[in-house]
Structure 1
Amino acid sequence: MPKQTRRKGYGKNRMHKYRGGGWFDSMKEKANQLKDDAIQKSKDMGLHDKAAAAHQAAMDHANTAKQMVGTAHSKAMEKGAEIHSQMKPHLDVASGHANDALMHAQSKNMDGFKSSMSNFAGSMTKAGSTGGNHIMNNTKVGDATLADHASAMSSKVSSSASDLHGKAMGWLSSLTAKKPAVSSVPGGEAAAPFQGGRRRRSRKARKSRKHPKKGKRSRTMKGRKDFTTKKGNKYYNRRGHRQTKNAKGKKKRPYKSRKVRRSRKR
């Protein structure tokens, strides 16, 4: 948790009637964890045999997000009208994002689902700026508090969006892709639509070059020093370019072409 400032109304000694600040921090962490866990579980949508289970998991996470907003509203009202009035605008926005996430999950739109869950977590984080961890530490789900659940899920705060795009989006694109339209012209065929995700080479493969910069250009002895004589090819400079006679030098003096002297007639 970042260090609190000393502004009035903030900090760990905030307004004694609220028994200190920070009671909503764990809930906003839970919102972020819910978003990451939703993405992690929905990556199985790239596998045909697990598509139904992953689809259901996405809808379950969206419904859980909606329930979290309702819980936050009720608990904030218990803390007082002042706290609830500050949190309500952000919670209303979070509720809208949760509804959008459920809609996208039902239509198997994973791009929209990811975006809505990310926006939901952001709105819950903003709502938590006026609260603390009191709700999380005093609200039990099963045998543990919400704070315990959030702590147990902390190891899952890792981005799996690239994994999701590689598997799930490729499969979803194949589901939503339309079949090639039959051309009205006899013998004509319409171009097949793009199916599947975009394939991308790894960063290591993209950084390496398998061929010289200029095609078949030879690199042999172009300015490379011999490990015995410590000298390179005198006809090439350090960049591997051929040198003129004047540029390479001869006995530390510029090369001068020999001029034929003409005898003067006296």
Structure 2
Amino acid sequence: MLAGDFVGERDRVARIRAEIRVCFEVGEHPGEDTVSVIRQQDGEAIFVATDVADEAQVEALVAAAVDKFGRLDGAFNNAGLAQTNVLLHDLTATQWRRIQSVNYDGVFFCMKHEIRAMLQTGGAIVNTSSALGRVAVPRSADYCGSKGGVLGLTKGAAVDYGHQHIRVNAILPGAVDTPMVQALTSDPQFAGLLEKLRTSHPVGRIGLPEEIAAAAVWLLSDRSSFVTGAELAVDGGFLAT
């Protein structure tokens, strides 16, 4: 099951591993095209539009996956919103909740119902945190707080459910060429941001969605069977600086 509200990593995971049976959750972007690609590669998929901030919808999503495929073996929780770009003392409660409801609550709801589906069979969960779950940039307290929270959820669940053969890990991407980042870098108020992002990564560029997807596929696979509670930085060296 892949949860994400933008094309990017979601699409690349599906294309990399079309043989994996997948149930999609996405936000406002339709997933039918990606489902079609998977089926063309002899894979199986369904599309379920879901608001991850609504627990009832998340519960229904997981139920749809289990009903269709019989069980849930892996889940990639990738839905997220960008920071509000407002200093903390100016953040309204509405702005704060908008970010937390998707970036933090959404991961909690997904994990809760994914784990329930995996208790008898085991499985693997990958959560998208961020390099900004570990460090901060200006005007990002809301985003950093949400992504740091994801790391806590990841480690707590890894400890609690290891004996049920459920592995839980987090990916910490740097800046990645997704529609969310493209929207930020094309905004006139963020003139020069793309170049700043490039130079902040020692490799001299921002990441590609398929690079994050490859990490997620590895963490979901049996090749990482002794990995749980881990933070995998896929950030072009950003956290090393």
TM-score, with length taken from structure 2: 0.28
TM-score, with length taken from structure 1: 0.26
Q: Rg bigger for which structure?
A: 1
The structure with the greater share of residues assigned to strand is: 2
